[in-house]
Chains A and B, each alone.
Chain A
């Protein structure tokens, strides 16, 4: 839900990165969408497409990578991922685990290009 406002937040961050790198054009945005982030990937992709389409780099790609929920067991220390709601540690059977990944939306990387490789180190 609210993927449009999330897309705007992503776009603000992308623009801030580009502002610090004059001479570079945006080729692709790579995002990581956690399974427990509450973000719907399709809606986010749609909203990002609108923003990118109206930007100075309308052909830039938006790539979303889903990230499963990863947890660390508080009893045995084992890290494990789960695709379901079963949060039981596969190693020791404990149900006391805290999430370490898969709960947020992250800007993983940007792909940029420039005509001049000499003067504008990214």
Chain B
């Protein structure tokens, strides 16, 4: 029997039992619908989180630019990944250049700690153990904060940037254009012009704006402040080495691949890898880890609830199987007639199978509609962006067909092997 004729026959039977077919389909509709609704909701939640992150701190988002911190740490150590420049200074300028050329990397900002003994302003020395040497990109790219006055320093100049806490640590407040004297731990004094003052809070706005809680920080260009140097194993030249790098990716989607590439670079043939003692390793830490944890929490939640929804899909499949068995019994006589006029067992099998698949498919199509509507209204209610993962529509249709085949196979097989003589006698 050709498929078209088969479809016509099956459709006629389904339409002949409108209520029964609707109720049977309803099981699948509810199953597919709830899966689609939950998946949509999950995707929308994740979308909302990503959108928040991308918006950045200035727009009230949860985190700053898509960045990761590269440091060194004892391989056995957990945590303490060399934050705040506490790690070993092993990242050479060669490494920075290599990373800069890596796909998906927006910029690489080195940070090094310069040991000080004190800082003097208008004749008043204040003890200070360290300042941070970095590049101007530190301020523009890593979300270190906004300037309340002035701007970044220029490389190679004797200029510094203070944060609010550092500007107010003297009796007299420091303002842009003033000169301060930095005394290295070795005793060498460097006079520097204050070019900018940073706003109180640093990277995360959620810590509030209580400036006093932050320690005073002084930032200067790597040249001339930073002097820690080593011979780069790759180039053989004496280069500055830093204890920490901040790698900024081009966007949030790139964070994972970039962090993988950075990790790959350091595990392979990098200066840092050669310079590090064997007890240490390079650690790459994505800064918006918390966002990712939330994302994984959401996806775990989604898959658990989806799992529960799948159970209702199984119930739907049993419904189809049940109604197909009834249908085969009811139509025993028709099966007998069909066999008498020359239909093969295969044709009978196909007829019932197609009917079951139509029920499953109809269920999945209506399920998608119901699920999308439910997902849409829920996201609208929760003020989330509506995101429908379109591949799930395909998955739902495939599942609907699969459910139809699985549920229809036994009843159809049962129908196909009915003895025509018995069937014709069946009342």
A and B associate? no
